[in-house]
Amino acid sequence: MRKLLIDEMNRLTVEGYKASPKTPVTVILDNIRSLNNVGSIFRTCDAMRIERIILAGITAQPPSPEIHKTALGAENSVDWLHVPDTLDALDLCRREGYVLCSVEQAEGSISLPDFRVEAGRRYAIVLGNEVKGVRQDVVDACHCCIEIPQFGTKHSFNVSVTTGIVLWEMFRQMTFDRR
């Protein structure tokens, strides 16, 4: 087995990415404190061709050396916008016809292995602050809540890891389960 060289991977240019079809998911970041987490989420969204990221509240915005350090340029390929409050992001996505999903541990949440995306639907997923999670008023404004099962002593994953897990499952269902 030989590792592929960068030029053998046939990666898209930024222009090619912008012109390509996207996975019908918007990621909403609810007051994320860490610029490294924001950058990592940009990179994950690029890998799965997510439609856009909405940076809400105190979530940092590009350009930023700290975001770039982990995004590795994905902040230039993935569409993004900033809104003053996460509820503004939900209102925008609701008007655009998205299914609004918070990712949080909550009563009545849907375990990620049981969550099913519906063909033809667009989804917005809300990821919360590293300490406080998704705000309760934001959870209340969503159509559903998705929870990742966990079995250790900690009660949560890092927000960038959570984003990767949830997006991969949604991407997998939208891409590979439709064959």
- CB distance 34 to 41 below 8 Å: no
- pTM value > 0.75: yes
Asked whether residue 178 carries a pLDDT value surpassing 70, the answer given is: no
Degrees, nearest 5: CA angle 54-12-64: 40
Neighbouring CB atoms inside 10 A of 112's CB total 17
- DSSP-based three-state secondary structure for 24: strand
- Which residue's entry shows tokens 């912008």? 18
pLDDT in tens, 86-115: 999 999 999 999 999 999 999 999 999 999
Fold assignment, 6-175: Alpha/beta knot (3.40.1280)
Q: Token digits for 80?
A: 């993004």
Q: Say what the pLDDT of residue 176 is.
A: 86
Share of the chain above pLDDT 70, in %: 99
